[in-house]
Amino acid sequence: MPVYYGGLEAGGTKMICAVGAGPNDLVAEARLPTTTPAETLAEVIAFFKAQQAAHGPLAGLGIGTFGPLDLDRASPTYGYITATTKPGWSQVDMAGPLGAALGAPVGFDTDVNAAALGEWRWGAAQGLDTFLYLTIGTGIGGGAVVNGKPLHGLLHPEMGHIRIPHDRQADPFAGVCAFHGDCLEGLASGPAIGARWSQPAEQLPPDHPAWALEAQYLGAGVASLICALSPQRVILGGGVMSQAHLFPLVRAEVRRLLNGYVQLPAILTGAIDGYIVPPGLGGRAGVLGAIALGELAAAG
């Protein structure tokens, strides 16, 4: 019998569940709406139980979720979503009930660390040991693998909330972050673009001034993160980055800001096209990363 893993990408609006062993070997996928924790977790468990009935026990389950999270294995609330801004979802145990119901070892991490793991296993970060995955969507979040391990640290990184230069004369928009106003997420997330220009980001034409400004902000964020983490590659995903014309603009801005100081061919030359890249797994990095997390949990 083939060995299968479960992957759950838990988002604020939807839960993406999958069962399989990799991108070309998925036996089931489902998207369930995120409602109350009790109802949502019951539906997620029902999905995975049905898959176990059809395909046999899952060797491991990976959960990549919105946060903030408790990733400290020594903590009594390990595996919980902690003080989230999403109503009803604070202090919700995710890993415990799922692991108990499915009888499988659970891997638990941020949605963006899971996506980074997916890219490491099957996507654009194969063979690297230090890299960055940044998603630019409803929020901005960063996951990283550093020296061969997902980066957790004190809590887990909150890369979307770094501060970047904001010229209020050129861009009077105050920013949408509830905590910081004009942090990177506040200025450059999808909702920030939509609010600044009074129309959804996906409706702005490629020659709209929104994109040059967006590239300026993303370039500032990415340049700072390159200086802090020294990633061997930077993967930019999320709905906003489906505007493919942003990539050359962001690369140019990163080179302009680093100004020749980071002495690497990957940054100094045209090779930057292979340094700042879209996800190899596209929009499936998160759920496939959750499967990779399940695989790691099964390996112990």
Residues that bind ligand ADP (CB under 6 A): 11, 137-138, 190-191, 194, 200-202, 238-240, 242-243
By C-alpha distance, which of 279, 284, 285 is closest to 118?
285
Q: How far is the CB of 185 from Zn ion (least distance, A)?
A: 5
275: tokens are: 């340094």
Q: Which residue, 8 or 188, is less far from Zn ion as judged by CB?
A: 188
Q: How far is the CB of 180 from Zn ion (least distance, A)?
A: 4
Segment 126 to 185, residues that bind Zn ion, using CB under 5 A:
161, 177, 179-180, 183, 185
Q: Which residue, 51 or 135, is less far from ligand ADP as judged by CB?
A: 135
Give the one entry of Zn ion, ligand ADP, none that residue 106 binds, where binding means its C-beta sits below a cut-off of 5 to 8 angstroms depending on kind: none
Give the one entry of Zn ion, ligand ADP, none that residue 96 binds, where binding means its C-beta sits below a cut-off of 5 to 8 angstroms depending on kind: none
CA distance 165 to 67: 26
* 208-211 own/partner pairs: CB under 8 Å, 24+ apart: 211/243, 211/245, 211/246, 211/249
Q: How far is the CB of 69 from ligand ADP (least distance, A)?
A: 16
Give the one entry of Zn ion, ligand ADP, none that residue 180 binds, where binding means its C-beta sits below a cut-off of 5 to 8 angstroms depending on kind: Zn ion
Give the one entry of ligand ADP, Zn ion, none that residue 68 binds, where binding means its C-beta sits below a cut-off of 5 to 8 angstroms depending on kind: none
| Helix, strand or coil, per DSSP, at residue 151 | coil
Angle formed at CA 256 by CA 254 and CA 259, multiple of 5 degrees = 105
> Residue 75, class by beta-carbon neighbours within 10 Å (0-12 exposed, 13-18 middle, 19+ buried)?
exposed
Where along the sequence are the contacts to Zn ion (CB under 5 A)? Answer: 161, 177, 179-180, 183, 185
